[in-house]
Amino acid sequence: MAWDFSTEPEFQEQLDWVDRFCREEVEPLELVFPFAVRMRDPKMKALVDPLKAQVKEKGLWAIFLDKDLGGPGFGQLKLALINEIIGRYGIAPSIFGCQAPDTGNMEILAAYGTEEQKERWLYPLLNQEIWSAYSMTEPQGGSDPNLFTTVAVRDGDEWVINGEKWFTSAGRYSDIIFVMCTNGIFIVPRATPGLEIMDEPRTHDHIIYRDVRVPLDHLLGPEDGAKVLAQRRLGGGRIHHAMRAIAQCRRAFDMMCERALSRESHGKVIAEHQMVQSAIADSYAEINMLRLLVLWTAWTIDNSSTQASRTQIAACKYTAAKVLREVAYRAIHIYGSLGVTNLTPLQAMWAAAPTMSVMDGVDEVHKVTVARDVLKNYRPHEGLWPSEYFPAKREEARKKFAQAMSDDPDLIIYADRMAARAGGHG
């Protein structure tokens, strides 16, 4: 077994280019034209398309996909290292062709779509000719599919969908919506009659489906296969969110350290105050623990599968939300009054933490998953005492030296003396 925390020089060069490109090209565009990346206005496309062309020229377009689907086939570990960079910038994933929620939708289209469905939707999504959304959670049932009521009923050569969905991210800006029903996942063009998007909330949309009709070939994968497709989609999405959360945590940490060295309070730079030092030290440790957990999980996926890594992915999901919440709060606190305004990224980071805690299933559900999976590797101890009960272990250990003690009674005296001195300790 080999342990390696290094990056190949050739790939490090690509990472350095991504970092420089995002700082010099992507961030300025985001600051001045924040919505340009999804706009079809020719003037905006003239600003965005050259950046996408540079990414494609570097072989970094659609970095989450295998080569046969138009991506570079990096795998999850390399994807995590790239996401650590692009996650700092809101529009960077779109510039690199790996934006949510399109990534997950493309993955299940690639895995379960027919050739006709791929031609109609997958390749246009890959080329960002169209945009998509994922309509899963419901007002009364959250993300628990056992409580869903949205259903598609077959009527001749059409499916008729009725139900209500909540938290459909970017639904109003999409061209097609992947709707999870009790009996399958259906691809619904946003302009389909009967599909009504409520005025609020604006980012994560509330959608009502009233007699929405789509052709039979808009069913993705098998009928009644919604849960299987959803797990395939959400597993990858959770780890990708965690990868980008590292970038946000590190950005908040960088801001925290810069501020600590730049401000004075009570006669000295605030970095010299122990409470500030404590905040920096805790943040440093938490970010790096999260990073190692995510990279280890990405490595595990590359060497097994998403399904085999479900326990680690679940742990990444709730740990990322927790670390982002804690680090962002500390940074806000060190920034003082400036930190509670919208003049820095910190407020948005702080607001993103509870969102991360509830999207793709609430943290508590994933903690239950982790606990149950972990406990499968353990068994209850036999008898009254736990396995690490020293008197019982010592008694068992003495059996190993039974012959030596029989040959030399002084060893018995010495062992009894040590046991008396140790008392209940080892």
pLDDT in tens, 180-239: 999 999 999 999 999 999 999 988 999 999 999 999 999 999 999 999 998 878 777 889
DSSP string across 88-110: TSTTHHHHTT--TTHHHHHHHHH
One domain, residues 249 and 364: yes
Q: What is the CATH number of the domain that holds 199?
A: 2.40.110.10
Count of domains for the chain: 4
Q: What is the CATH number of the domain that holds 245?
A: 1.20.140.10
One domain, residues 105 and 212: no
Q: What is the CATH number of the domain that holds 83?
A: 1.10.540.10
Burial class of residue 425, CB neighbours in 10 A (0-12, 13-18, 19+): exposed
One domain, residues 354 and 239: yes
Asked if the structure places residue 361 within a domain, the reply is yes
pLDDT in tens, 115-138: 999 999 999 999 999 999 999 999
Q: Which of 220, 255, 279 is the last residue of a domain?
A: 220
Asked if the structure places residue 385 within a domain, the reply is no
Strand partners, 219: 186
One domain, residues 102 and 141: no
Burial class of residue 74, CB neighbours in 10 A (0-12, 13-18, 19+): buried
One domain, residues 394 and 335: no
Asked if the structure places residue 97 within a domain, the reply is yes
Neighbouring residues of 287: CB distance < 8 A, sequence distance ≥ 6: 246, 249, 250, 253, 323, 327
pLDDT in tens, 101-116: 999 999 899 989 999 9
Q: Which of 220, 253, 281 is the last residue of a domain?
A: 220
Q: pTM of the entire structure?
A: 0.90
Domain that includes residue 415, residue range: 390-422
One domain, residues 34 and 83: yes
One domain, residues 348 and 235: yes
One domain, residues 276 and 207: no
Asked if the structure places residue 121 within a domain, the reply is no
One domain, residues 210 and 236: no
pLDDT in tens, 17-68: 999 999 999 999 999 999 999 999 999 999 999 999 999 999 999 998 888 7
Angle between helices 274-303 and 76-86 (to 10 degrees): 150
Spell out a b/e string for 281-319, using b for 16 or more CB atoms within 10 Å of the CB, else e: eebeebbeebbebbbbbbbbbbeeebeebbbbbbbbbbb
Strand ranges for 199-282 from DSSP E: 204-215, 219-220, 264-265, 268-269
Q: How far is CA 59 from the centre of its chain?
A: 24
